[in-house]
Amino acid sequence: MIAFEGVSKYYQGRPAVADLQLTCREGEFTVLVGTSGSGKSTTLKMANRLVECDSGVIRFAGADIRQLDPLQLRRRMGYVIQSTGLFPHWTVARNIATVPELLKWPGRQIARRVDELLELLGLDPEAFRDRYPHQLSGGQQQRVGVARALAADPQVLLMDEPFGALDPVNRGMLQQEIQRIQRRDGRTIVLVTHDVDEALLLADRLVLMDGGRIVQQGSPQTLLMHPQSPLVTDFFGQRETGLRLLALRQVRDCLRRGEWLEGCRQPLLESDSLKSALSQFIASGCQALPVVSDDGAPLGSVRLEDVLNYQGDDDAAAD
């Protein structure tokens, strides 16, 4: 969907991005991760021509983006940044409607789309559509920022540290929300973060950058289990590798279906991560815990030994 072919960008003679080879595939969640100054934001901004590259070619759906009108290109790519960039004197509804208005959608269609997006992002349209940005919490503003980026149904969503300013609870909720939207619509998303756990949680394809170059790219499991350089190991924290692998897997991966346990133990959800399951094993002192589906139906059980022995899929061959 977006291909960077030998792309470089220099500032004052120094490369911010150097000879980048990267393909963000259609329907995939690509996450660019790396320390501050590693070239992540520059990469994202080159994709929608907020920054022009100095050499190489960037293709969007096969076309060299220099052949495309920048404004039209940006309408095909929603863009979300940390400081939401909402217009302070516009209501929530008008902020969300920015691009549909530019595209001259009929008023009724715009109003319907605004309400649909507010619902999608967990904001009650009645309560929120007529508010102004300063009447919202940080998390709510960020939701509106995401809704605005999705408004005209762009083919790609570019997100630069979109959850950076949020507290952990709101951050976790929005991460889940965006993952749900991505899976539901098979949307192509490219997200920038410097947060290791966020990157591992969201990425189909994880791209670790350093000094404007890609150090390694692949699935989260591949980077954790097969780091190609000490930089990768250091970035993900060697001592945390085991827990981070467990965080990538869910209770359903270890489920003993039908082995229902009697008793009053707090059950695990099938969608809980194995990391959180391990935490609940330690807290409860149990060797086995019951598992229910996300809507509460009994499914079976999980044993502590299964979690400890869980190796995960070694999918390195797939990258």
Neighbours of 288 (CB within 10 A): 17
Q: CA separation (Å) from 140 to 46, 80, 174, 245?
A: 28, 14, 10, 31
Closer residue to Mg ion, CB minimum distance, 41 or 222: 41
As measured in angstroms, the least distance from the Cβ of 41 to ligand ADP is 3
Q: Helix 168-185 vs helix 138-150: angle between axes, to the nearest 10 degrees?
A: 20
Contacting range for ligand ADP; rule: CB under 6 A; set: 38-46, 104-112, 137-145, 310-318: 38-46
Of the candidate residues 22, 30, 31, 34, the single one contacting ligand ADP (CB under 6 A): 34
As measured in angstroms, the least distance from the Cβ of 36 to ligand ADP is 4
Indicate the residue whose CB is closest to Mg ion. 41
Contacting range for ligand ADP; rule: CB under 6 A; set: 32-40, 117-125, 216-224, 276-284: 32-40
Helix (H, G, I), strand (E, B) or coil at 86: coil
Q: CA separation (Å) from 152 to 85, 296, 314?
A: 17, 36, 39
Of the candidate residues 3, 5, 37, 132, the single one contacting ligand ADP (CB under 6 A): 37
Residue 128's nearest CA partner among 83, 95, 87 is 95
Contacting range for ligand ADP; rule: CB under 6 A; set: 35-43, 195-203, 213-221, 252-260: 35-43
Q: Give the separation between CA 79 and CA 68, rounded to whole angstroms.
A: 17
Q: Which does 100 bind (CB under 5 to 8 A by kind): Mg ion, ligand ADP, none?
A: none
As measured in angstroms, the least distance from the Cβ of 16 to ligand ADP is 3
Closer residue to ligand ADP, CB minimum distance, 16 or 268: 16
CB 268 within 8 A of CB 280: yes
Closer residue to Mg ion, CB minimum distance, 41 or 280: 41
Q: Give the separation between CA 226 and CA 314, rounded to whole angstroms.
A: 10
Q: Give the separation between CA 80 and CA 280, rounded to whole angstroms.
A: 35
Closer residue to ligand ADP, CB minimum distance, 44 or 254: 44
Q: Which of residues 127-186 bind Mg ion (CB under 5 A)?
A: none
Structure tokens at 41: 């934001």
As measured in angstroms, the least distance from the Cβ of 271 to ligand ADP is 32
The DSSP bridge partners found for residue 292 are 269, 298
Helix (H, G, I), strand (E, B) or coil at 58: strand
Q: Which does 16 bind (CB under 5 to 8 A by kind): Mg ion, ligand ADP, none?
A: ligand ADP
- Number of alpha helices (DSSP H) and beta strands (DSSP E) in the chain: 14, 14
CA 231 to chain centre: 23
Residue 40 engages ligand ADP in binding (rule: CB under 6 A): yes
As measured in angstroms, the least distance from the Cβ of 223 to ligand ADP is 17
The DSSP bridge partners found for residue 10 are 15
Contacting range for ligand ADP; rule: CB under 6 A; set: 39-47, 76-84, 106-114, 228-236: 39-47
DSSP code of residue 82: S
Q: Which of residues 16-55 bind Mg ion (CB under 5 A)?
A: 41
Residue ranges in contact with Mg ion by CB under 5 A: 41
Residue ranges in contact with ligand ADP by CB under 6 A: 11, 16, 34, 36-42
